[in-house]
Chains A and B, each alone.
Chain A
């Protein structure tokens, strides 16, 4: 029998919002959300904002309705990326097996680290301490024998929590929780379960196959395993980014080509900046177009050589958009997105421009530095500006 694994799930508390409150003392203690304009969605909400029922992914309009005094901060993705790098560096001081789920969340397999650093609780405390010392931010940690339970545990005592689940207290911890803590149970499934009735994890664990099979089909067994806290998925380190993208929902649907180009440039600037922050180049550029009627399509083209320059990404994106516009002229557009995929490390300098990153330029690097300090809206190409926005 193999030794029981010790898995940590570390989740930064209200990450983007906390970074903003840390960097700007006037925001501390106040409801803060990070997100774009009034038609966008909330990317992160501070705990003060959550009191009003504001959650991430909520439309900004709803958030403002719930809390008219809400402090809205434009996102600084490349800055969050840099803070995230500091946090992940702490993780790697304890184990090479780090599976990042996003900028602010990761699984760590510390099974082999116990001999070096002490038991799982000691490691979890030390990780929280080091994160606080280096970034002045708090994290919540769940400790368990697998990813499923660790993730559920990290959420139980947020913020600044530390919850340890062992074989002895597993049932007592999981059983009373609402059934939707089990991943894969969405709105539809939840409604069907309520009818059986299955409300808690315990209900699910004890429900009969006859009741569950119509709902979960061949996943019945796996679902019951999850309800019993069984999960043997490994922690996959070096899970590389598949794509990096930025998108925007507009206040008013766009019909004018020049307006679309202007927004495309802003999006290209954000995507390219994030690629550069991660030292990656994209081999494919993708755009996403959502029409006013919510029909959504994506178009992509290869980028040779792979690049991360704002102008390079932008040129590829407008070619794609113009091709789409030629096919669907005059259709109002609700959302545009620009992404890079087929990502690779920016490892091969060019013979004719050895000092530059692929496709990047000194201008891009200077813009990145300024945006890191003053926010994504602090500096941009004039062509990407709304004439009314320039003061």
Chain B
């Protein structure tokens, strides 16, 4: 393999894939990136066996070939070279030589054939969706994913096609976030769970415009972005029946100004217990009292004007869960629907059902 490339052209794909190069890898080759040079481009692949990223850069290929080299070291070298430097890369024996100006580096390699790649994912369906739409679906739900939960199927995001809509759902068992987008095209119903790591990596890559192709296989999801191909294994498990925990009876619904509610929660939270983050809401006709106290016996209390004519309810929550939901809803006002002081509540934009946030109360 022999190629020549400008510093910036090589930096971009390396930076795009470096997130999945494991620092504490179980297999030495996972610290490497796979370089495949042919037809005027080099494809850079990184994997942690769960998520695979392939990014492509245009280069001058003198001799086609493929090899793996330590990913972080190659990135650090490119980064440290001067702007607009010209880099020539060539393989000599078991080493990869990287030269630029008066700098010369010789990196160890491992054979490309040993690098684990995911080729065909046997996609059952392929969905066309705009980057903005998919980005929104992730952004509005990702924060509710569980982390290292023994219920491994919660450590990811549910991606679901249902009729003509694409839906994401995340839950850690304490709260749940759901967001859906109308794609206007009938799709086969399917549910897949994308692991947490894949979701966070995908979010890092998004931000552009244009259409994406989302391919769903039985074990993988693959998304083709501009110049980058994202592939993630799926979590093999059944996502809980989330519809069952979304409150349907909304007779005790209040409407509040989102900004004022959020600010009141943030102030009250200062004196909540740092560990449990518990906050008490006392809801009565057109008014809400927010209360928190901590082990030092300090107390905070706020009064908030709301629109409410339902039953008087006293309920406790982890304030972080309410703040996360209020941060994700995009409207001036929000609706908070309650059943009673022990049951989960539903937060959303008034009259809109495309984003739903369910929060389980706390015992205070």
Contact = CB atoms under 8 A, between A and B. Distances in A.
B171 A351 contact: yes
Contacts of B275: 344
Interface string B273-298: 00110100000000000000001000
A184 to B, nearest CB: 29
A283 B86 CA distance: 52
B295 A238 contact: yes
Interface residues of A, number: 17
Interface in A5-22: none
A238 B173 CA distance: 29
Contacts of B174: 305, 348, 350-351
Contacts of A304: 146-150
Interface stretch (B76-84, B92-100, B127-135, B354-362): B354-362
A341 B364 CA distance: 22
B245 interface: yes
Nearest to A301: B148
Contacts of B148: 302, 304
Given A303-B150, A304-B148, A304-B149, A351 B360 contact: yes
A312 B146 CA distance: 17
B363 A349 contact: yes
B318 to A, nearest CB: 7
A247 B362 CA distance: 33
A348 B147 contact: no
Counting chain B residues whose Cβ lies within 8 A of the other chain, the interface size class is 20 to 34
Given A303-B150, A305-B149, A344-B276, A349 B176 contact: no
B363 A347 contact: yes
B278 A347 contact: yes
Nearest to B175: A351
Interface string A312-355: 10010000000000000000000000000000110111111010
Interface in A115-163: none
A354 B343 contact: yes
Q: Is the interface of B mostly helix, strand, loop or mixed?
A: loop
A308 to B, nearest CB: 13
B161 interface: no
Contact of A351 (B147, B344, B363, B364): B344
B173 A305 contact: yes
A348 B364 CA distance: 9
Given A303-B150, A312-B150, A354-B343, A348 B295 contact: no
A347 B147 CA distance: 19
B163 interface: no
Nearest to A303: B150
| Residue of A312, A347, A349, A351 ringed by the most chain B CB atoms within 10 A | A351
B144 to A, nearest CB: 10
Given A312-B150, A344-B275, A352 B295 contact: no
A31 to B, nearest CB: 43
Nearest to A353: B173
Nearest to A355: B342
B297 to A, nearest CB: 9
A55 B269 CA distance: 50
A360 to B, nearest CB: 14
A345 B276 contact: yes
Given A304-B146, A304-B149, A345-B276, A351 B176 contact: yes
Interface string B136-166: 0000000000111110000000000000000
Contacts of B150: 303-305, 307, 312, 315
Contacts of A351: 171, 173-176, 245, 344, 358, 360
A352 B361 contact: no
Nearest to B240: A352
Given A238-B295, A303-B150, 19 more contacts: A304-B146, A304-B149, A304-B150, A305-B149, A344-B275, A345-B276, A347-B276, A348-B174, A348-B362, A349-B360, A349-B362, A349-B363, A351-B171, A351-B173, A351-B174, A351-B176, A351-B245, A354-B343, A354-B360
Closest 7 CB pairs of A and B: A304-B148, A350-B173, A351-B245, A351-B360, A304-B149, A347-B363, A347-B362
